[in-house]
Amino acid sequence: MSEQLVLREVIPSDAQNLIDFLQRADQQSDFIVFDHDITLEKEEVALDAIFQSRFDELELALFEESVIGFCRIENVDDVKAELGVVVDQDFWNNKIASYLIEDCLFWAKDSPLKKIFLEVYKNNSAAIHIYQKYGFTTELEKDKTLVMSKMV
């Protein structure tokens, strides 16, 4: 599979492919919520803003030219950002989330960001394991979720 898997930064022309992926992912997991009001034009503008930003990153995993996963770093302020990762259920357990997180954390080292955090459901043990593997530690425990973070 690695010969057909491509990881790269998002570009505005990926908008429709990303929308299609998010609609699929929304059906596969209770952990994903898709905004059904998104339009192609809005998504292209959003992806262009991410592409131009020094504080935001969006890495895609493509298989046979279709998005099968992404990792997003979304700034909260000039030094802190939230990380999120989603992988198509058909590709779980193939290290795609790990590859995407590695790429985003590598990008973050050269960014102005100092801290990356995320929120994960307590019952999502696979995700928690991956985040711990990359140095995220629990900062706050909520009723159903954990807030994890790491310095970059």
pLDDT of residue 1: 46
User: Domain 5-112 falls in which CATH fold?
Assistant: Aminopeptidase (3.40.630)
Cβ atoms < 10 Å from Cβ of 114: 12
Token pair 């998002």 is found at: 10
Mean pLDDT across 109-121 = 96
Looking from the CA of 129 toward its CB, the CA atoms found within 13 Å total 7
The token pair that represents 66 in the structure block: 């279709």
DSSP code of 119? Answer: E
pTM, 2 dp = 0.89
* pLDDT level of residue 137 (50, 70, 90 thresholds): very high
pLDDT of residue 31: 58
Q: Average pLDDT of the chain?
A: 92
Provide the residue ranges of all domains of the chain, joining segments of one domain with +.
Answer: 5-112
Q: Which of 2, 146, 21 is nearest to 71 (CA)?
A: 21
